Amino acid sequence: MRLCTVLGLAATTLHAVSAAPAPSPQLVPPQLAPAYHLRVHAPEQPWHHRHIIQLPSTRLLGLENFTRRPETTPVTVLPIQIPDKAEYALRVPDRGDDLSRTPYVSALLPKDTARGSVSLRIIYIPDPRDETIGRNPDACPGGKKCAASAFVLYGMDSPNPEDGVVEEKLLGKLAYSGFEGHWEAVKDAPRSEGWHLYWKPTEGAGDVELGTKIEIDVVSVE
Domain boundaries, the chain: 24-220
**Strands 61-64 and 102-110, bridge-based pairing:** unpaired
Burial class (CB in 10 A: 0-12, 13-18, 19+), 118: buried
If we measure between CA atoms, which residue out of 62, 37, 28 comes closest to residue 222? 37
pLDDT, residue 32, reads 57
For the whole model, what pTM was predicted?
0.80
> Using one digit for the tens of pLDDT, what is the confidence trace for 169-215?
899 999 999 989 999 999 999 999 999 999 998 876 555 557 999 99
Specify the DSSP element, H or E, that contains 37: strand 36-41
CA dihedral 172, 177, 182, 186 (to 10 degrees): -100
Q: Which of 134, 149, 40, 21 lies closest to 91, judged by CA?
A: 149
Yes or no: say if 145 and 110 are a contact pair by the CB < 8 Å rule: yes
> Rounded to the nearest 10 degrees, how much is the dihedral formed by the CA atoms of 155, 156, 161, 164?
-140
Alpha helices in 56-208 (DSSP H): 130-134
pLDDT digits (tens, 9 = 90+) for 160-178: 555 444 455 899 999 999 9
CATH level 2 (architecture), domain 24-220: Trefoil (2.80)
